């Protein structure tokens, strides 16, 4: 599932209680009269984006030059890999079962899911809590101007690379770093290390990588 927005906030949740796990719903809100949603569906993918205010032809890009500010509330099917983008706004993801990719140009990202995620913003803060300690490959989190806080399962085995050009790094994992001028770096292993990786990079801002412990 892809959700693309030019101006507005995206809210994503699991299917509503009692609904089938493979059901998706899309709701919009906009202060602009006649704002519309464009849906493009194939067997394996659903793309949701704001329709342009003016007709731009069948080949018009999803992200047009002049679109209405639209907020979306999305119910994401259980089996879906969800990708969210908004140029100007925020992304809030809660209890979505599958992996999530979130990208913002200007705005904050907040994710709390049982699976795993990647997130990036050019100007804003990122907070991610993910519960799956068996993610594949490398998870990337970055902000050019803002703070990044990532909660990693305490039982995870991974290599981590944390770096800020201008800021500070804090972690409650057993890791030590280095500093040079305003820059700080931590490179090391949590648990037994291995092929999984967490990469967090901030240009101007601080990093917090914290242990997410199971709740009784």
> Which two tokens mark 89?
């706004």
CB 208 within 8 A of CB 127: no
pLDDT digits (tens, 9 = 90+) for 97-142: 999 999 999 999 999 999 999 999 999 999 999 999 999 999 999 9
pTM score over 0.75: yes
Q: What is the structure's pLDDT at 79?
A: 83
**How many Å apart are CA 47 and CA 135, to the nearest integer?**
25
Sorted by where each begins, the domain ranges of the chain are 1-115, 137-216
Q: What is the structure's pLDDT at 30?
A: 74
Q: What is the structure's pLDDT at 7?
A: 87
**Hey, which bits of the chain come out as E strands?**
2-7, 10-13, 25-29, 37-41, 46-50, 71-75, 82-88, 91-94, 100-106, 109-113, 117-123, 126-130, 138-145, 148-153, 158-166, 169-171, 177-180, 183-190, 197-204, 207-212
Q: What is the structure's pLDDT at 40?
A: 80
Q: What is the structure's pLDDT at 80?
A: 92
- Average pLDDT, consecutive stretches of 10 residues, N- to C-terminus, the chain (216 residues): 90 95 88 69 76 46 64 92 94 97 97 98 98 97 98 97 98 95 97 97 98 80
Q: What is the structure's pLDDT at 103?
A: 97
Q: What is the structure's pLDDT at 32?
A: 64
């Amino acid at each position: 599932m892809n959700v693309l927005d030019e101006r507005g906030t995206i809210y994503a949740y699991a299917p509503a209680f009692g609904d089938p796990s493979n059901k998706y719903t899309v709701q919009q809100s906009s202060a602009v009269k006649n704002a519309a949603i464009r849906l493009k569906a194939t067997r394996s993918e659903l793309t949701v984006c704001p329709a342009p205010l003016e007709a731009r032809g069948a080949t018009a890009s999803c992200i047009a030059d002049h679109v209405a500010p639209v907020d979306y509330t999305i119910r994401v099917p259980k089996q879906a890999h969800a990708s969210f983008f908004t140029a100007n706004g925020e992304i809030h993801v809660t209890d979505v079962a599958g992996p999530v990719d979130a990208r913002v140009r200007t705005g904050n990202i907040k994710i709390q899911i049982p699976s795993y995620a990647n997130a990036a913003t050019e100007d804003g803060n990122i907070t991610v809590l993910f519960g799956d300690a068996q993610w594949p490959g490398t998870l990337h989190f970055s902000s050019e101007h803002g703070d990044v806080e990532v909660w990693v399962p305490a039982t995870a085995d991974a290599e981590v690379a944390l770096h800020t050009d201008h800021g500070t790094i804090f972690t409650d994992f057993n890791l030590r770093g280095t500093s040079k001028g305003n820059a700080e770096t931590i490179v090391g292993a949590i648990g037994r290390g291995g092929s999984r990786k967490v990469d967090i990079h901030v240009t101007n801002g601080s990093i917090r990588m914290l242990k997410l412990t199971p709740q009784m």
